[in-house]
Amino acid sequence: MTAEMLRKRNYLRSILQPLALVAATVVAGAIVAPAQSYFSPGNIVVSRSVYDNNPNNVQVGQILPPNCQVTQGGCSGPATYNGTYPYVWNNDLVDGSFGITSAIFLDQLTPTGTLVNTLSVPSARRIGQPLLADNLVTSFSSKSEVSLNLSADGQYLTFMGYVSSVDNLDVSNSNTPLVVDPTNPVGTNYYRAVALVNNQGQFNFTETQAYSGNNGRAAIFNNTNGASIFYTAGNAGNGANPQPDGIIIGAGAQFITPLFQSEISQRPGMPTPLSSFNVTQLGDPQDKIGKDDNFRGLTIFNNVVYFTKGSGSNGVNSVFWVDPTVTICNDNNGVGLPPANASLPTAPLDYDPSLLQTKGLDPNNMCVLNGLPTTLSKHATYFPFGIWFADANTLYVADEGNGDNTYSNGLYTGAAGQTTAGLQKWIFDSTSGQWNLAYVLRSGLQLGVPYTVAGYPNGNNPATNLPWSPGTDGLRNITGIVNGDGTATIYAVTSTVSGNGDQGADPNQVMVITDQISAISLPPNESFGTFQAAGFGAVLRGISFTPGTAGAH
């Protein structure tokens, strides 16, 4: 590292803490400022959101989405339920953009699941009024949000949310202020933002114009070798086809420069994409431009940035990697392997603006990891979400399941019958130069089996005529650590199926399993156990080891 790079890195560290907003921690009902060292190395952090169960959040008969009258997208119809949980989510059957912003909490737990403390992300209730201080919220029921990741040097946590107060409607499908799609039926504008959290529990937020019409889902801070960059994953667009240029530019994989100032002082410019994939690289016909980059999972391993796609009807559900050289992926028909001497990207994608409406973000600089699925999403049986490398030859992929809530004789049969949902283990074959699926860990997940949530309604939801009780459908975000005995312990957040009007609003769980890394066939005695369970009105979203944990990545 040069002296100039070292100076820049030290300067970055020096300004993070003074400009950060210190969040409060709720312990036994008292408000306590974070201690000098808030997170303890070796612990687990889980992002949790709690719905503000207020009947007045929505009025029966209220026209949805908000401000739909001023858009070309038009209105969906009147709300059929008020804001009472969980009935409020039946409004999703009327308004496909329906969601309500809610507060975010970071739970710190020991590796055995004992709660250490809870850090509250700054939020406020100022509906329809300007925010007076830094705030960040999520959208309750948006199941792919608030993924947690460690920075490239392992010293910070990152996640994404919305610059909004609690209890605003349909923010997850709103436009961003400078990227407005007139065909989006949600007629409101909100910034998305990246949260950076240090070991003292202090926050810094960076606003972005990216992900207009949809949601930012994950972020990683690259602060190595003098860099200061966020890599982010998400989706954009909630309107008609073709999408405006700004929606295409602000989708998928983004390259964001941190802003170390208050939210009210920030003036973020247009989005800057990090990378892009297009199905034409595989020889498939062009589909909805911008939607091939509907990314969810995000990780860095051996200086390579990886993304996953597992939802939507466009693109390919698979694992992708970023090729800063813009040569390997294009020379291999959209499928390939990262080079051995890879380096992290330090500049955004240099795309051709004149080709946005015909080719998207061209040239494309990412491709499918060799051996992973290349089937178009419309025919997919794989639904990748979180990814974690135990080593250079062992990759774990969380598959969240197909969302089929078919129910019969006390079982969600669609979920129970899946063969790829759960935790997939992929092993690299150096001879053939590709990754192969070794087995899928499912034991203990009880896929499709309804479970009880205290306080939840009994019987069936009258809006769907299916049970309120959720069942596990698969896994979303994951993290893991290699143990000294040749095993890996993986923590995973569950997805659900149910009769809820929006299955993303179901109280879900975090599960844990230990797997023999060298195993190439399914070990007979490995099974998931429950690590944490969400209660009434709560959901669990992201998971990571604490900053400073040795061996975590």
**In the 3-class helix/strand/coil scheme, how is 78-103 assigned residue by residue?**
ECCCCCCCCHHHHHHHCCCCCCEEEE
- Whole-number pLDDT of residue 128: 72
Report the C-alpha gap between 511 and 494 in whole angstroms.
7
Provide mean pLDDT across the span 131-135. Answer: 86
What pLDDT does residue 22 have?
35
Residue 230 pLDDT > 60, yes or no? yes
- Does 4 score more than 70 pLDDT? no
Provide the number of structural domains found in the chain: 1
Mean pLDDT for all residues in the chain: 92
Q: Which of 52-66, 125-139, 350-364 has the lowest mean pLDDT?
A: 125-139
pLDDT of residue 295: 98
Q: How confident is the model at residue 5 (pLDDT cuts 50, 70, 90)?
A: very low
Q: Which amino acid is at 307?
A: F
Q: What are phi and psi of 366, to 5 degrees?
A: -150, 160
Q: Tell me: the pLDDT tens digits for 146-163?
A: 999 999 999 999 999 999
Q: 231 lies in a domain?
A: no
Q: What are phi and psi of 181, to 5 degrees?
A: -95, 110
Token pair for residue 445?
């997940």
- Domain hosting 75: range is 1-195
Tokens of 216: 């930012």
Quick check: 326 pLDDT over 60? yes
- Any domain includes 239: no
Does residue 6 carry a pLDDT above 80? no
What percent of the chain has a predicted confidence (pLDDT) above 90? 89
Task: Give the model's confidence band at 372: pLDDT under 50 very low, under 70 low, under 90 confident, else very high.
Answer: very high
Question: How high is the pLDDT of residue 11?
Answer: 35
Residue 397: its H or E element? strand 394-399
Determine the distance from the C-alpha atom of residue 209 to the mean position of all C-alpha atoms in its chain, rounded to a whole number.
Answer: 17
Structure-token match 């992926």, residue found? 329
| Per-residue pLDDT at 9 exceeds 60 | no
- Strand pairing partners for 218? 233
Domain-embedded: residue 256: no
pLDDT confidence tier of residue 133, bands split at 50, 70 and 90: confident
Local confidence band at 30 (pLDDT 50, 70, 90 cut-offs):
very low
Q: Examine the pLDDT at 436 and tell me if it is beyond 50.
A: yes
pLDDT of residue 36: 61
Task: Report, as an integer, the average pLDDT of 458-469.
Answer: 97
Q: Are the C-beta atoms of 392 and 376 separated by less than 8 Å?
A: no
CA proximity to 370, closest of 400, 395, 345? 395
Domain presence at residue 413: no
- Coil vs helix vs strand at 242: coil
Q: What are phi and psi of 383, to 5 degrees?
A: -135, 70
Phi and psi dihedrals of 524, rounded to 5? -75, -20
